[in-house]
């Protein structure tokens, strides 16, 4: 590869992504979604097999971007936090699709960290709103046809500290949809986006510290559910001087360039580079990788919200 060059024009959205981190998870066939809020990231594993109709309904709203800029509008400590109905700017309820049939007699329980559909008194009235249990709420489970409970359709796997933080927010009575409503957070808790996690990227194991003469071998791997379509793979390095360096299949460059365009869905392991560290190269370097929609620029990272970022830090002494 050619020598590294520095980049003076930074991409703020890419640096925002650099602040996110994801823990490893075992390969699974269930769908995973990230709930990105102004209180942090919450990752949910959906119960595709146990609650297929409820999951499909939820994912319809996710696909449409329905949850973008919506509120956690009902927060009750030691109970649950509810979201997915009200626009954060207008405080008005959003129009939804038709209600779905209740899918609560599945054996899933309203335990701490589970996500379930909110509804009215009519069992078959759930549309888009959901809640996350902050404690065990077994009384919300299916008991009998006359006491059908609430449909659980997933489990928080990362971010329960964010759930606890939201559940402790001060609340008051606020006008929502022009009606006085209890238990609304005083400081708005906003869902920025809910995004589908597909083909999660991660760096294969790297040493944390390297010295001159050693070779850094970088490889990316995909896990979780399979990507449904080809995506562009971008790999970058943030230098100790906060310069952005793009990695191509032949060089390091300051020119915004994808590592590989339209990566086939059949490819899940990605050798990136082998780099022998020269004398005089020192400091902490952050390696980042994302998938983006084919042909999309890094200034439009909304296109990458259906994928994930991989991030790791190495120190060169």
Q: What is the pLDDT of residue 100?
A: 98
Closest CA to 214 of 202, 206, 225: 206
* pLDDT number for residue 17: 45
pLDDT at 310: 82
Q: What pLDDT is attached to residue 23?
A: 32
**Per-residue pLDDT of the chain in tens (317 residues, 90 and over written 9):** 333 333 333 454 455 444 433 333 323 357 888 899 999 999 899 999 999 999 999 999 998 999 999 999 999 999 999 999 999 999 999 999 999 999 999 999 999 999 999 999 999 999 999 999 999 999 999 999 999 999 999 999 989 999 999 999 999 999 999 999 999 999 999 999 998 776 678 899 899 999 999 999 999 988 655 676 788 899 999 999 988 899 999 999 988 899 999 999 888 899 999 999 999 999 999 998 988 878 877 766 544 444 467 889 999 99
- The full set of domains in the chain, from first to last, is 12-23+198-316 (2.60.40.1930), 39-188 (2.40.100.10)
Q: What is the pLDDT of residue 225?
A: 54
CA dihedral 296, 300, 306, 309 (to 10 degrees): 100
């Amino acid at each position: 590869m050619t020598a590294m060059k520095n980049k003076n024009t930074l991409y703020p959205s890419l640096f925002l992504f650099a602040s996110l981190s994801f823990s490893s998870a075992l390969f699974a066939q269930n769908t995973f979604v990230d709930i990105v809020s102004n209180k942090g990231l919450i990752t949910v594993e959906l119960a595709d097999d146990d609650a297929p109709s409820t999951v499909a309904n939820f994912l319809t709203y996710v696909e449409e971007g329905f949850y973008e800029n919506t509120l956690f509008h009902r927060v009750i400590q030691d109970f649950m936090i509810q979201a997915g109905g009200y626009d954060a700017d207008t405080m008005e309820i959003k129009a939804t699709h038709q209600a779905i049939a209740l899918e609560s007699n599945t054996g899933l329980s309203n335990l701490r960290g589970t996500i379930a559909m909110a509804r009215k008194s009519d069992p078959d009235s759930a549309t888009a709103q959901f809640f996350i249990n902050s404690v065990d709420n077994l009384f919300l489970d299916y008991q009998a046809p006359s006491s059908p409970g609430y449909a659980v359709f997933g489990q928080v796997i990362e971010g329960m500290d964010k759930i606890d933080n939201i559940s402790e927010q001060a609340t008051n009575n606020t006008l929502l949809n022009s009606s006085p409503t209890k238990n609304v957070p005083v400081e708005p808790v906003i869902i920025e986006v809910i995004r589908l996690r597909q083909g999660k990227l991660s760096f294969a194991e790297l040493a944390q510290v390297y010295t001159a003469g050693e070779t850094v071998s970088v490889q990316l791997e995909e896990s979780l559910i399979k990507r449904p379509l080809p995506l562009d793979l971008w790999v970058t390095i943030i230098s100790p001087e906060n310069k952005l360096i793009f990695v191509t299949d032949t060089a390091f460059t300051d020119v915004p360039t994808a590592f590989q365009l339209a990566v086939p869905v059949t490819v899940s392991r990605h050798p990136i580079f082998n780099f022998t560290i020269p004398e005089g190269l020192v400091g902490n370097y952050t390696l980042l990788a994302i998938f983006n929609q084919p042909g999309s620029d890094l200034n439009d990272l909304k296109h990458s919200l259906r994928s994930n970022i991989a991030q790791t830090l190495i120190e060169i002494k």
